[in-house]
Amino acid sequence: MKATTGNTEQRRQARLRQRSLRISVILAAISAAYPAYAQTADGNAAITIASAKTDGESEALQTVTVNARRRDENPQQVPVAITVLSGDALAEQRVYKLQDLQQLLPSTTVSLAQPRQASISVRGIGNNAGNSDGIDGSVGLYLDNVFLGRASMAVTDLLDIDQIELLRGPQGTLFGKNTTAGVLNINTRQPTFEHDNSVEASVGSRGYYQTKATLSGPFNDTWAGRLTVSQTGQDGNVTNISNGEKLNGGTRRGIRGQLLYRPDDNFSLRLIADYSEENSSNGVPLLYSTGPTVNGVNKYLQLSSKLGNQPVTNPGQYQLNFNGNQSLSVRQGGASAEANWKLSDGFKLTSVTAWRFWNFSPVNGVFAPTLTNYGTQVNDHQFSQEVRLASPTGGAFDYVVGAYYFNQHLSNQTFLDYGPKADIGITGVNRGVLNNVTSISPGHIDTDSYALFGQSTWHINNRFDLTTGLRGTYEEKSGEVSRNAPLNANPATAPYWSAYGLSAYDSGNLKINNFSPAALLNLSYKVDQNVLAYGSLSHGEKSGGLGIVGVSNAPTLGSNSLLIAPERANAAELGIKSSWLDKRLQVNANVFWTGVNNYQATTFLAGANGVSLPTLINVGKVRSRGAELEIQGKPIKGLTLGFNTSFIDATYLSYDKAPCPAEVANLPGAPASCNLTGQRVAGVPRWTANLSAEYQHRVSDNVDQYVTGSYALRSSTRGSVDNSIYSEIPSYGLVNLATGWRIVQGDKSWDLSLWVRNLFDKRYYLSVYSAGAGTQASGLYYNAAVGDSRTVGATLRYNF
């Protein structure tokens, strides 16, 4: 009887388990189809998850937070064209150089000849005057909420990065400096109140190595610190066949220390100090094209033969032939303090105080015996102070208001050390005027910029938001540029000094001041909880400047030719942001139009004796229009796919005093200038596309493997500002791959990865620019800065 009772009880329990299993299956199906209405068997609402999780990995795309509007927000809910890159993704793909960001970001071009000649363009605006010390960039760069006065300050190893955000379109009504094309916001990892320590070592082909160490953790309950040190080195990929030296390589090292004070939830203070240096031959000018052959004569080759030089005329060989020195030195660093107070009633007050410096010293001997050394040394110091007040959110109306001050003192010295055959190399006639002479042109500029800004959002109802913004900037710039009397010059040649650009000159005090407004009108509409549509109109201005890189043609044209008017941009945009398939798919798209007046650019104006010099001018009008598409999806567990593409039509609407390309400038009787109205803006590919994929899976209980890959495609473009056919950069695509294993051992872990950058060893160019400046002897020709060759390597990281 007891046995029978026991069997009956077992059968009853089995039926209950089967019923429970059937109910669980039904609930799982209901939860998948209607997650908001899933219920338990007792009728109570169940806790639902947007997507199932297995082994700690969610099928939904990872949610990120941005501070683009100086509030922590989901970028899918921000009615602005913004792209976010995580620090982990950058590390896995071995992206740590500024120029490599264009392989991941839409509508972005980084032009880099060497650290001083660096510029960033977004949507076709900004890649115009990278070597001009006297003007700001069209794209604002921020490091930990600190505006960087020049793109060159970001030409360093981007390590210990938390997140990078790219905002497109005119900016300035929310923070920092005013810009006309966009903002690249770089955020490093903050100190933690839990231990977050790591050491890392990488080795690779062509002598590549990188070492990095990070220590982060608490000192007590209110103070935490973070220290990161790094060093990177690699041999060059350009060979000087005259001596076998490898150029376009070198070393970088840096240190960054941070303190975080957080006594309670209402106050935090973050202190940062950093220093880095570079010693390299990066950006060595490679001969890209010798220009046209006219009546059977190529001026550049004819001159090379006369000087006894045999140039390498195939740029794809990554070779050059010269007997001079090539090197550069960069020293930079700074300190900042960011304080945040949470005030009563939900207000937040922020103060960011910062000081930075950037020093650059080059040695360029690639044109010996014409020039044994030339270049521009730069010392740049800046101070900035920003204060912002953010209102509480959750009501019908919220806003951010603030004030900004920026001071910059920059001094430079342009030097020309002419060689023993300088007269022949530049004019074709040996009069003994330039031979072994040194010409030095010092310059300086001081900037004071003051701004008030504010942006507000009116939440009209649950669907409509109206955002308006306004900024007023008053800026003063003063400076001077001069040219010293020539050193080692023969006094008997003094009558020729003016014609040869040697006579002493002083611009006197140069001054420019202007008021620059910026404005924003944005209307957004929430179609539903997963779809946001928006439209915006904006106006932005970039301050005027002074041409202080050498005296250029000021002795002929007058000192007023050194004054540059502000650049003004009007922009319109329509966009949509959407999430699908339970947040496993995101599709964002927009169309845009930007018109720029007084576009600032570097050109070449004819000087005496046929020598043209780089001159900073206002071009006239530029129009950029196009479309952008960004897709990110997670089709199956562990697999994340990303894709973005851009079409950009950037055109000069008026540019009637443009430099002539070699196909015109090298002809007999060539005009002093040409008309590029209606032609494409230089350095802007019509099409860019970036594809990425990452797959992660569990190998065992404590081992995960990941595989990542990316493909970056850029269409052809004319590299030089004169739009010469001889400066055409062909379209190219780059493939990068990596795989790695993460091994967890309690609270410690190892990460071993194998990777390759530029898998198929594609020969490509970061910039192409005109050289020779229309001299009578050489004519106009073109140099290039080459991209990275294939690098295969391995990285081992230990976290503890």
Confidence check: pLDDT of 42 > 60: no
Asked if residue 683 has pLDDT above 80, the reply is yes
How far apart (Å, rounded) are the C-alpha atoms in residues 570 and 350? 29
pLDDT value for 308: 85
Average pLDDT of the segment spanning 683-712: 96
493-to-184, 420, 429, 611 alpha-carbon distances in Å: 51, 15, 13, 18
Helix H or strand E segment including 745: strand 732-745
Between CA 676 and CA 683 the distance in angstroms is 14
Cβ neighbours for 799, distance < 8 A, ≥ 6 positions apart? 196, 197, 198, 748, 749, 750, 751
**Amino acid 58: pLDDT:** 52
The model's pTM is 0.89
If one compares 498 and 572, the residue with the highest pLDDT of the two is 572
314's CB contacts (< 8 A; 6+ apart) are: none
Strands (E), 553-656: 563-564, 567-580, 585-597, 600-606, 612-618, 621-633, 639-654
Residue 368: pLDDT over 90: no
pLDDT in tens, 81-126: 999 999 999 999 999 999 999 999 999 999 888 899 888 999 999 8
For residue 716, what pLDDT is reported? 97
48: pLDDT confidence band, cut at 50, 70 and 90?
Answer: very low
pLDDT digits (tens, 9 = 90+) for 602-623: 765 554 444 445 677 888 899 9
pLDDT higher than 80, residue 132: no
Q: What's the whole-number average pLDDT of the chain?
A: 88
